[in-house]
Each structure stands twice: as structure tokens, then as C-alpha cells.
A and B are shown apart, each in its own frame.
Chain A
């Protein structure tokens, strides 16, 4: 699910205040439904996957035989699968960096233009709220070799005579998905960075201006360092979300051309729901989950380090 954001782990709960209250079961009662929900949605799937991954299982006929670690061995020898994992990171990392840089630039622009900024902040909610499948439809129409906006522009500028199939090209298919993704999610980054900018103490900025700092110096030496923890936190959220990429691939390229845009989620989906081999898919999912945690870890550490360094 394309969730909107991840909390910063910075905020710890304040110490519980119970001195007016007798010990009670109330807190436990209040969290009990959440615990049940998480058991069903997080704990149970994990356990089920582990068991499933040790079995020969088809979607309609699971648990036909126990096979030990054969599914894992097979997955780790499967070049297409391993390549799809790398492709997930190869997509998520550049997309995150582009969106944060673009988002920072636009947020600074909005901050400096009060009236126009308000309108833009409202209108950029639209891409953010668009269902990803419809985002894909819009971009598919723009990029289509037949009647697409891009080709109309290219032809009218005499850059090409024959229509270009961007989504069918090994070179351009992934960048196209990245553009559609940036179209949807840069607004989110803008809103978060804008909020972080608003939260910055004004007096330090003013002191720097009084001291004669140029706009560039102000940005480089004051604004950016203070913003760094927020930027890394926002980057982390987007990185985690971009690793989940599925909808755009499904609706724009179906993983093609060839396997060129087949990311981890999409490959596992095909193994499980098109080839019905859920045993293999379960092993791949476990590996994918570990892989995601492993690549997320450095980003988390970078964010925590920046928090210590700058705040």
C-alpha cells in the first residue's frame, strides 16, 4: 500500500502519567484491537510465509510436500529474480534523490512567493491524491506512440519523424516510470519540506542576513544544515515507498520490455499469481523482505547520524 509517511523515531512517548489513577486494565484494553490487527497483518503473514516457503505449493493446492530450503536455493540461483531485486533499488534510490532535490527547490520557491505559493500548494494535492493506476493511464496516453502528447511535441519540433515507443524502449521505459512516480510523489515531498521550512527558527536566518550573508550563503550555511535531518527523514520515507513499487509497473509496462522494468514486487507477483508457484514466491518474498531491510538500514543510520550531528 502506498502509505503516506513514516514517523521519525525521534519522538519518544512522554513518561506515562498515572499518579491520579489506580492501576487499571484500560490501557491494555485500548491497545488490544491494534495488537490483534498487527498479529493478523504483520505477524501471521510472516510466519505463514516461512512455513509456505519450505513447501512445494501451488496457489490452488498449497503444502503438497516439504522441501526444506530448496525454494531458497532455487531463488538465489535465479538470475532474473536477483536482477529484479537490484532493479527495485536501482529505481528507488535515484527516484528518491530526484524527488527530494526537486521538492526542495520547489518548496523554497513556494516559501518565497506567498500568494502564488498558496494556490500551488493546493493544486499539487491533485497528483498526490490520484490513484496510481490512473496516474499510469494519464502517462500512458502522454507517452503513447499513437496519439501521445510526447510524440506530437517531438514531431512538431522535427526531432523525429517516426513515432517513438517510449514505454517499449529498454532505455526509456524505466525513466518513464520514474517520471510518472515523480509526478505523483514530488508534491508530497514539497509539502513536507515546506512544513519543515516553516518550522525553522526565523531569528537565525535574520541574524545571518544582518551579518551580510548572500542568499546563496544563507541557503548553504544556515537553511540547508538545519533542514538536513528533515530531508533525510523525508528521503527515507520516499525510499521505503519507492521500494514497494508495483502499480505503475503493472499498468505501464507489465515489467517489460523483456524484464527491463520487472522490479522485485512485480516478479514475485508473477510467480505467485501468474505461474501459481506460491512456494517459490514465498521464499522469494522472504528474501525480498530481508533485502529491503538490508538496503533501508544504511539510510536509517544516515538519518540518525544526521539527527545527532545537526540537532
Chain B
């Protein structure tokens, strides 16, 4: 019961049908907020717990005390001292940026040609699809030898190329729906005016799909930033390892301090969270656009 007046009125006429229908939405609204709260609790608690542990002194982590008696800020500088978080972060950012640039440069013109001119036909579409379905473990060993042969193994550009190619299927399919939304009349008009196919793409189509390009590029950046298997196999020095690899190796150490591990992990998560919250609209649109056509 949300307000005193409703309570009073319901006392007067408890069984009047209008009252019953008025009371029900109040209750169901309460239940709905409760359910939303539970949903948020499930999705945010692990992040909150990580933040809590990162500020807890090690003895209190071990003794199983939920709230720390004092805030152990020292976990953060100690984490940076025991694992080269900033170096890993730098590597991750370089690889993510380079790979997303590569993906977009290849995927954008190709998607346009596939959508508008049917380039590559159904064969190309099915190869794109099956390279998405295949588990990445399939490509790991052959790419290891390819990078070795090209002297790109254990280098940032090497990993960036692999990530850039790995994200092609996703980028093509995400861009597909954005390209499709461009009204054909505009393009036809441009052709009638004598602009060629590539001229129309660069001067008419690309400016129209900038929001889509940004969304897809950000998704590719995050996919590369988060990727683990290729990064684990194709790099092996701290100078080239990305943050997920650095953290995974660090947390595998039995002597590791939980507070430092949490601090190091959060350092890797905060950048993606800032990007995610800043670009949330574009991200949600990019993730869902045409997903369920």
C-alpha cells in the first residue's frame, strides 16, 4: 500500500472492484521494483565485491571479515609494483586500437559492396558465417606458425593483425544492417549525377552511417581488449602481453594477495566501463541492430 489515503479508502470499501484493481498495480509495482533490485544486485555484486576486496587488508581477507576495519589503499600501489599493470594496459590499448582500425578498414567497404552490389555472392556470406562459428582454437596453431614465418610472433602488430581478422565476421554482420538503412534513392541520385561507386561510398554513404561505424568500432575495440586465447598463445613477454594475459598469469600464482589481484583486475576493467557508459546508446544499438530481423 503506497499511501495513507489509499489505505483509508480501502478500509471503507474493501471489496469494491475498483479498489481491487487500484490496489493491485501498487503491489505489482512494488514487486517489480523488488525484482529489478534483485537483478541489479546479481549483476553488480561481483563488481562491488571486487572493489571491496581491493580495499581490504590481507589478514582480514583471510579471516573472512566482510567489511574492512580500515581502508587498505596500499593494495593499489602494491598491485602496480608486483604486476606490470600499466605496461599490460598500454599493450592492450595499442592492440585494440590497431586491430579495430584494421577491422573497420576491411569490413566497411566490403560490407557495402556485399549489400549493394551482391559482391562475393552467397559463398562469401557463408565463409564469413562459418569463420564465426568455428571455435578460435581452430585458428590458433596455424596462426602461430604464420606469425612465426612472418616474424610477427610475440609482437603487438602481430597480435593486432590476428584480432583485426578475427573480428571481421562480427563487424561485417553488424555493419550490414547500418548499410542497409541508407536510402537507396540517395545513392541512385548520386550515381545519376555521375559519381562512381567508390565516390558515392565515401561522399554519401559513409557520412550517413557514422554512428554505426563508431558503434561497431567500439565493439571491435572491446572484443580485442577482452580477448584471451590468441593473446595467450601469440605473445610471451611482458612487453607484448595484454592485460587479460598478465592478470591470468598473476592470479594463477598461489602466493598472490587477493587485494592486489582485485586492484589489478579493476584497473583493467575501469577503462572498458568508462567507454561502455560513455557510448551506451551506440553500444546497445550496435549490439541489437538487426540482431533479430
B-binding residues in A (CB < 8 A): 1-11, 13-18, 20-21, 24, 26-31, 33-35, 37-38, 40-46, 48-49, 52, 59, 62, 106, 109-110, 112-113, 116-117, 120-142, 144, 146-149, 151-152, 155, 163, 183, 187-188, 191-192, 194-196, 199, 229-230, 233-234, 240, 243-244, 246-247, 250-251, 254, 264-265, 268-269, 272-273, 278, 281-282, 285, 288-289, 292-293, 296
Asked whether, in the complex, the Cβ of B288 is within 8 Å of the Cβ of A192, the reply is yes
- 8 Å CB contact of A46 from B53, B107, B138: B138
A267–B189 Cα distance when bound, in Å, is 56
> Quick one: closest B residue to A268, CB to CB?
B137
Q: Report chain A residues within 8 Å CB of B8.
A: none
Interface of B is mostly: helix
Asked whether, in the complex, the Cβ of B36 is within 8 Å of the Cβ of A116, the reply is yes
B40 contacts the other chain (Cβ, under 8 Å)?
A: yes
A-contacting residues, B123-151, CB 8 Å: 124, 127-146
Q: Report chain B residues within 8 Å CB of A1.
A: 136, 163, 166-167, 223, 227, 229-230
Asked whether, in the complex, the Cβ of B223 is within 8 Å of the Cβ of A147, the reply is no
Asked whether, in the complex, the Cβ of A52 is within 8 Å of the Cβ of B141, the reply is yes
Q: In the complex where A246-B229, A293-B133 touch, is A5 in contact with B291 (Cβ < 8 A)?
A: yes
Asked whether, in the complex, the Cβ of B248 is within 8 Å of the Cβ of A41, the reply is no
A-contacting residues, B52-76, CB 8 Å: 53, 60-64, 66
Chain B nearest CB from A22 CB (Å) reads 9
Q: How many residues of B contact A (CB 8 A)?
A: 119
Asked whether, in the complex, the Cβ of A13 is within 8 Å of the Cβ of B64, the reply is no
Give me 13 A-to-B residue pairs in the complex whose CB atoms sit less than 8 angstroms apart, sorted by A's number. Answer: A20-B191, A31-B113, A34-B124, A49-B142, A124-B39, A131-B225, A141-B258, A146-B62, A191-B288, A233-B292, A246-B229, A247-B244, A268-B137
Q: In the complex where A13-B115, A30-B113, A31-B120 touch, is A146 in contact with B64 (Cβ < 8 A)?
A: yes
Q: Report chain B residues within 8 Å CB of A285.
A: 137-138, 141
A-contacting residues, B207-253, CB 8 Å: 219, 222-223, 225-230, 232-233, 243-245, 247-248, 251-252
A251–B136 Cα distance when bound, in Å, is 17
Asked whether, in the complex, the Cβ of A20 is within 8 Å of the Cβ of B290, the reply is no
Asked whether, in the complex, the Cβ of A120 is within 8 Å of the Cβ of B145, the reply is no
Asked whether, in the complex, the Cβ of B119 is within 8 Å of the Cβ of A40, the reply is no
A244–B138 Cα distance when bound, in Å, is 10
Q: Report chain B residues within 8 Å CB of A9.
A: 129
Chain A nearest CB from B133 CB (Å) reads 6
Q: In the complex where A2-B226, A52-B141, A137-B261 touch, is A183 in contact with B33 (Cβ < 8 A)?
A: no
Chain A nearest CB from B144 CB (Å) reads 8
B169 contacts the other chain (Cβ, under 8 Å)?
A: yes
Asked whether, in the complex, the Cβ of B287 is within 8 Å of the Cβ of A41, the reply is no
